[in-house]
Amino acid sequence: MPEASNAAEITSRILLETKAVLFNPDQPFTFTSGRVSPVYVDCRRLISFPKARTTLMDLASALIKREIPAGSLDAIAGGETAGIPFAAWISERLNLPMLYVRKKPKGFGRNAQIEGEMAEGARVLLVEDLASEGTSKLNFIHAIRRAGGQIGHTFVIFHYGIFPQSVTSLEAEGVKLHALATWWDVLKVAHGLGHFTPAQYAAIRAFLEHPESWRPAQSAAR
């Protein structure tokens, strides 16, 4: 099984090759929160690249087997919506039942928030595509527990790794976050491949070190 450092490098290369991560410090991206950022990630793109996603799911399965004690999981749950395909592929590899968790109860029929069969006390691994500030994970974790499940681990392909609360908020719930790569891993690989000018590299690194206060150079100069 690949070591964590090798897995992070392979994952970073795949994210770059599939254009699932983008860098543009000159014309930053604006998120729904209003935050401006010179970097952007869209792991949903990965579902359209069979060879890349197969490699990533192999790496994910290896990481889970390495970091979570054998026999301590009963089901794999995908978070609506981006986590669902990855949960399906991982559950297949680990030969475990698959569930998915809605953002809120369905609103009719059984009014279910958990889809699939989850036994009382089942030990569940939550799977999503990425973790930024960790808030969406808390909603899914609470839903799993309300339905009678136990959860101590969550897995993502990509973890921003720049917002401390993404880890501490989960730790407060007794949940450990596992990820294949962070922005720091991707930045290292992209820099090594010559993706940036020195000025672009400096701007992106400045954002990753101080995301809350970062502003584009042209804005800061006004």
What tokens appear for 30 in the block? 């604006």
Burial class (CB in 10 A: 0-12, 13-18, 19+), 125: buried
The single-letter code of the amino acid at 2 is P
SS3 helix, strand, coil % of the chain, rounded to 5?
45, 20, 35
CA distances from 103 to 99, 106, 150, 189 (A): 13, 9, 18, 34
Find all residues with CB under 8 Å of 70, minimum gap 6, and list them: none
pLDDT digits (tens, 9 = 90+) for 103-157: 988 766 566 899 999 999 999 999 999 998 767 899 999 999 999 999 999 999 9
What tokens appear for 64 in the block? 């889970």
Find all residues with CB under 8 Å of 202, minimum gap 6, and list them: none
In terms of pTM, does the model score above 0.75? yes
Query: What pLDDT score was predicted for residue 221?
Result: 39
Domains and CATH numbers, the chain: 4-220 (3.40.50.2020)
Q: What percent of the chain has pLDDT over 90?
A: 70
The single-letter code of the amino acid at 118 is M
pLDDT at 1 over 60: no
C-alpha 163/C-alpha 187 separation (Å) is 16
The single-letter code of the amino acid at 47 is I
Confidence of residue 222 (pLDDT cuts 50, 70, 90): very low
Query: What pLDDT score was predicted for residue 2?
Result: 62
Which residue, chain included where needed, has tokens 């994210």? 15
CA 58 to chain centre: 16
